Amino acid sequence: MDYPINQIRNDFPILSEKVYGKPLVYFDNGATTQKPRQVIDRVIKYYYTENSNVHRGAHQLSNLATQAFEEARNYIARFIHAASPKEIIFTRGTTESVNLVCTGIQHLIHAGDEVVVTAMEHHSNLVPWQQMCEKQGAVFRVIPVTGRGELDLPEAEKILSNRVKILAVTHISNVLGTINPIKKLVEMAHRHHIPVLVDGAQAIAHIHVDVQELDCEFYAFSAHKAYGPMGVGVLYGKSSWLEKLSPYQYGGEMIDRVTFEKTTFNSLPYKFEAGTPNVADVLGMETALRYIGNLGIDSIQRHEDALLELATHELSAIPDVRIIGQSPYKTAVLSFVVDGIHPYDLGTLLDQMGIAVRTGNHCAQPLVEFLGLTGTVRASFGFYNTPEEVAMFIQSLKKAVLMLK
């Protein structure tokens, strides 16, 4: 079946907007994706017809909201192939999911223990572990990257040992686009009984995710990078490990019984969902993932890989351009620099031509500095982008380079 690009683009109202009088070419999907009408309508429908607190009421509206909320949990469990819906925790996004695990596992980390991340982590999967190590007196260790932007697996073998209490690793680099060999890393970690947390923020909308096949203990992602609302996301955790974690927050819903003498906590997943949840955006997230599911992740990946291949080929032909990240295992992200031109200047000119890209260190400052850079220009693709937009991007970039040289 042909990829229904026109139908897809018609579902996204913002793609018809103009920037400085020019058609919008939105290549900043790695930062956040746009939302289809179906997601926007689902959020509005909740507030129009179902608005009520979940799990707490005996009335019809509360029952309707609770049923929709829990069906969203069930669908998301199926989407990532979790063993049970109780392994799906709703959070504010990847950052909160990582902090939840980091805080919850802290009582198991002692002085002299080791925590391992990789050199390509987003700050959200680096700083929490670094700060926890400082607090607990643990050793913070980093798996390096190679010159072409891949994890150094022989070094990882050396670093992973029985002293390591958790490995935190990104599935796809938000700077390089590199798809990391998560299953292999998990196997390496499990030989030393190390649990693994995977930051899936850049993966969930682009490649197939099966948490049971990966066998990771935790997997985190945000809705807004998968065509859903901002401020909501998911932490998947194996039940056995979620039971070991201390609660991240305290309050209503996450309790079983409260007396002045003692409080006992609720069962999974509610143990980690204190307070009134963001019901409307959870339903929007479910709708976004259903949209992805209906398109088919394999079709999406083929489309985005073709865009990446085209953009890489055209970009490579421009003098003085250096593409950052040369792994053959990439998706959706293309970072580059132009010798003698600051990335911010390029990004500003491209914006005036209607091209939305990201510039800077992309919340991965240690990685960018390791690569000997202060920043890059990053074009990141979504399933609604087109070869025609790539051509417009390349044409605009050539003009910008000529203006700045």
Asked if residue 224 lies in contact with residue 93, where contact means CB atoms within 8 angstroms, the answer is: yes
**Is residue 372 over pLDDT 90?**
yes
State yes or no: is 363 an active-site residue: yes
Q: What is the DSSP string of 54-80?
A: SSS-SSHHHHHHHHHHHHHHHHHHHHT
Cite the beta strand spans of 106-195 per DSSP E: 114-118, 139-143, 164-170
Catalytic option among 102, 133, 216, 363 = 363
CA 256 – CA 264 distance, rounded (Å): 5
**Is residue 157 over pLDDT 70?**
yes
38: nearest Cα among 228, 234, 296: 228
**Given this model, what pLDDT does residue 1 score?**
59
The CATH T-level fold of domain 40-294 is Aspartate Aminotransferase; domain 2 (3.40.640)
User: What class is the 5-30+297-404 domain?
Assistant: alpha beta
**Given this model, what pLDDT does residue 170 score?**
98
**Given this model, what pLDDT does residue 56 score?**
77
Show me where the domains of the chain are located.
5-30+297-404, 40-294
Average pLDDT for residues 128-156, to the nearest whole number?
A: 97
**Given this model, what pLDDT does residue 58 score?**
83
Q: What whole-number percentage of the chain has pLDDT above 90?
A: 98
Q: What whole-number percentage of the chain has pLDDT above 70?
A: 100
**Given this model, what pLDDT does residue 364 score?**
95
pLDDT tens track for 251-303: 999 999 999 999 999 999 999 999 999 999 999 999 999 999 999 999 999 99
pLDDT tens track for 224-237: 999 999 999 999 99
The mean pLDDT value of the chain amounts to 97
**Is residue 57 over pLDDT 90?**
no
Asked if residue 176 lies in contact with residue 330, where contact means CB atoms within 8 angstroms, the answer is: yes
User: In one letter, which amino acid is 102?
Assistant: C
Average pLDDT for residues 106-117, to the nearest whole number?
A: 97
Average pLDDT for residues 213-241, to the nearest whole number?
A: 98
Beta strands 114-118 and 88-91, pairing class: unpaired
